[in-house]
């Protein structure tokens, strides 16, 4: 079986991939994540997932490489990782009472076999009409400054939400495992 590499520095993606109980390495992709002018959130997520997989596959052509990216889409506007408290507050205020689509893209590349697949797994998240005090209490408790959209649904962030709609429950955390499994099988990786 070919070597498997996760092309990501995300601890959330690493943790999710361990659920498949297969050996893998982690390599940080060197990819500029700056959105292109006028680039839609779904297109940005797809482009970055593929760029990350290709960047690592170029260094390790005999490996099957997974690249992934997620962009929160608020009415066509991309919301990235806030990075700090002030930006997280602004994001959560903008999202209160709104439905946000978390565009999670996945690419699997095996350069030696000329294999490349990319998929988009959108997740619709309806936020409650949050009060400023709730936003502040949440951010103080969880500090989700490294998460697109400033909320961790797998943690306390679930109390900010009214609904989550998706074909793959792990997509919202950052790596859609149903689609990942499908693509890894297509690339020749045995999962069971």
Q: How do the domains of the chain map onto residue ranges? A: 4-186
6-55 tens-digit pLDDT: 999 999 999 999 999 999 999 999 999 999 999 999 999 999 999 999 99
Nearest to 65, CA basis, from 192, 191, 179, 189: 189
pLDDT, mean of each 10-residue run, the chain (192 residues): 94 97 97 94 97 97 97 94 96 98 97 97 98 98 94 95 96 97 96 93
Q: Among this protein's residues, is 129 annotated catalytic? A: no
User: Tokens 């839609």 appear where?
Assistant: 40
Q: What is the pLDDT of residue 130?
A: 97
| Strand 77-79 relative to strand 161-165, pairing | unpaired
Among the listed residues 25, 32, 69, 167, the single catalytic one is 69
pTM above 0.85, yes or no: yes
4-186 classified as CATH 3.40.50.720: no
């Amino acid at each position: 079986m070919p070597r498997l590499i996760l092309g990501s520095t995300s601890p959330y993606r690493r943790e999710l991939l361990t659920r498949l109980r297969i050996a893998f390495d982690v390599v940080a992709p060197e990819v500029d994540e700056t959105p292109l002018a006028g680039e839609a959130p779904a297109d940005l997520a797809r482009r970055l997932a593929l760029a990350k997989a290709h960047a690592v596959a170029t260094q390790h052509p005999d490996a099957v490489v997974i690249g992934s990216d997620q962009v929160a889409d608020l009415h066509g506007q991309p919301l990235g990782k806030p990075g700090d408290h002030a930006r997280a507050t602004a994001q959560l205020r903008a999202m209160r009472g709104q439905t946000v689509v978390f565009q999670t893209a996945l690419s699997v590349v095996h350069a030696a076999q000329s294999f490349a697949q990319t998929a988009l797994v959108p997740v619709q998240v309806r936020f409650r009409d949050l009060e400023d005090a709730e936003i502040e209490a949440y951010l103080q408790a969880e500090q989700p400054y490294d998460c697109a959209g400033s909320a961790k649904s797998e943690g306390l962030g679930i109390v900010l939400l009214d609904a989550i709609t998706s074909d793959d429950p792990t997509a919202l955390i950052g790596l859609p495992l149903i689609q990942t499994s499908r693509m890894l099988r297509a690339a020749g990786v045995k999962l069971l």
